[in-house]
Amino acid sequence: MLLTKEAFGEDFIWGVSTAAYQIEGAHNIHGKGLSIWDVFVQKRNKIFQNHNGDIACDFYNRYTEDLYLMYRLNIRNYRFSISWSRILPDGTGEINPSGIDFYNRLIDLSLELGITPWVTLYHWDLPHTLDKKGGWLNRDIKEWFGHYVAICVTHFGDRVKNWMVLNEPTVFCATGYFFGVHAPGKKGIDYFLAATHHAALAQAHGARIIKSIQNDNTVGTTFSCSYVEPFTTREKDIVAAKKADVLLNRLLIEPLLGMGYPTSEIKILKRIEKYIKQNDEKDLKFDMDFIGIQNYTREIIRHATFVPYLQAKIVSAKDRKVTTTAMNWEVYPEAMYQMLKKFSAYQNIPPLTITENGAAFPDRVENNMVDDPKRIQYLQDTLEQVLRAKQEGVNVKGYFVWTFLDNFEWAEGYQPRFGLVYVNFQNQQRIVKSSGNWYANFIK
């Protein structure tokens, strides 16, 4: 297969993705309120070497040079997220004019450079004030979120035409409310189920609000997904893999498509009904214009008697002795093909766009250059799988690399580097990696 940009067709969208908390820094200036991440990073031993996103890539102050760099690398679509607490320091109530001003400047300069903005409304940085009222555990979040979305669309919707409501709801509900390893650090099955239902409600509600303000907008939302396979062909492992598939791939897309929650494989999930009110099921459904797929790897699952609720566990890539990235995720590009096939098999599924894909490797600076052949290989191999799916008829419209700049990788701090551009966090110097030049050339 000849991998060229042309093979994907003229309309195929090529871009890069970032998220506010991971790059902006400027965490407490110009009227910004605290987010749950600003608070979570202050707790000891939650984040690798107690790193935090206070400064991150200082994108808030350096967005001009970063956008020019993006332009020079031929990138014409930029997915970024808006920090809710920069717009509404308390989550609701007073608008912070400096926050509006920052995103206005970012959007205007992008457009001036011919870069189309793709805006995610929520990439995990909930205003801390709302967390104090329960955050995603409080059903009122549907209205709080709707109010914030309306403000964003009213202020930016004249120029922003592509919106994504949530970033990976399953991930922030699981890591933030079940495992407690991400903000706000809560642990428990009931927290997880409540957060999941409220996120699903907010997702459809947010999309409705965007459309009600501007009907010509393109509206989507994004889902994490991993290709799941059983460890052996034993029945028990197959059952375990099916359960993992529900959690990793099906839990949030199915209610959105009007299929309800997939509760039949995992008994405990039925408990979500506790949080469901009359009419909710109908409200969970929304016809998105596109679905964002975010895939990085596959997971091998085996039966595990002692794992509560699931009796299933991931067989780590390390134990399987396969090639991994710096996240210890298996390098398995075919996962992308499998996920495109899986999602496109749903009835009434809208077109798919790959809103994130990429890899962290231990990059090193030598002679002021960063040579990262493994990342180039990863991107090429994954794109081949995207093309394979496309040629088999999957309606996939675009591909965004995660990510533009090395950044704050949540609980892993600054250690894993995912960027096409290397960032020296001591002096904020940017160095385009070989992969950045490769991508620039590929999408030219």
Residues assigned a catalytic role? 168, 356
Q: Which residue, 171 or 252, is less far from ligand BGC as judged by CB?
A: 171
Phi, psi of 141 (to 5 degrees): -60, -25
Q: How many residues bind ligand BGC (CB under 6 A)?
A: 11
Q: In this complex, which beta carbon is closest to ligand BGC, that of residue 286 or of residue 418?
A: 418
- What is the C-alpha radius of gyration for the chain, rounded to an integer number of angstroms? 21
CA 285-262-275 angle, to 5 degrees, is 70
**Cβ neighbours, 10 Å, residue 257:** 18
The C-alpha torsion from 286 through 289 and 290 to 291, rounded to 10°, is -10
Question: Which residues in the 377-406 window bind ligand BGC by CB under 6 A?
Answer: 402
Structure tokens at 307: 């794992």
| Sequence-ordered list of residues with C-beta below 8 angstroms from that of 215, at least 6 positions apart, any chain | none
Q: CA–CA separation, 84 vs 122, rounded Å?
A: 7
Query: What gap in Å lies between CA 326 and CA 296, rounded to an integer?
Result: 12
In the complex, the smallest distance separating the C-beta of residue 170 from ligand BGC, rounded to whole angstroms, is 10
Cβ closest to ligand BGC, residue 229 vs residue 409: 409
* Least distance CB 118 / ligand BGC (angstroms): 14
Q: Which is nearer to ligand BGC, 221 or 224 (CB)?
A: 224
Please, what is the minimum distance in Å from the beta carbon of residue 18 to ligand BGC?
9
Of 356 and 363, the one with the shorter C-beta distance to ligand BGC is 356
Give whichever of 22 and 129 is closer to ligand BGC, judged by the CB atom.
Answer: 22
> What is the DSSP annotation of 162-213?
EEEEEE-HHHHHHHHHTS-SSTT----HHHHHHHHHHHHHHHHHHHHHHHHH
Residue 15 corresponds to which tokens in the numbers above? 């871009």
Smallest gap, in angstroms, from Cβ of residue 174 to ligand BGC? 11
Spell out, one character per residue from 250 to 289, where the chain touches ligand BGC: x when CB under 6 A holds, - when not.
----------------------------------------
Q: Is 128 helix (H, G, I), strand (E, B) or coil?
A: helix
Among 36, 121, 137, 171, which residue sits at the site for ligand BGC (rule: CB under 6 A)? 171
Q: Which is nearer to ligand BGC, 220 or 230 (CB)?
A: 220
For 239, the token pair is 């059952």
Tell me the H-state helices in 184-320.
189-213, 235-245, 253-256, 280-283, 317-320
> 150 to 169, contacts with ligand BGC by CB under 6 A?
167-168
Q: In angstroms, give the least distance from the CB of 52 to ligand BGC.
A: 15
The Cα 50–Cα 43 span in angstroms is 8
Under rule CB under 6 A, which residues in 28-67 are in contact with ligand BGC? none
19 near ligand BGC (CB under 6 A) = yes
Q: Are 183 and 176 in contact (CB under 8 A)?
A: yes
Rounded to a whole number of angstroms, the minimum distance from the CB of residue 229 to ligand BGC is: 20
Residue 115: Cβ within 10 Å count:
19
The site string for ligand BGC over 104-143 (x = CB under 6 A, - otherwise) reads ----------------------------------------
Query: Which member of 224, 249, 357, 385 binds ligand BGC (CB under 6 A)?
Result: 224
Provide the β-strand partners of residue 431. Answer: 422
- What is the footprint of ligand BGC within residues 294-333 (CB under 6 A)? 294
CB of 224 to ligand BGC, least distance (A): 5
Q: Which of 92, 200, 197, 223 is nearest to 150 (CA)?
A: 92
The contact set with ligand BGC (CB under 6 A) reads 19, 22, 167-168, 171, 224, 294, 356, 402, 409, 418
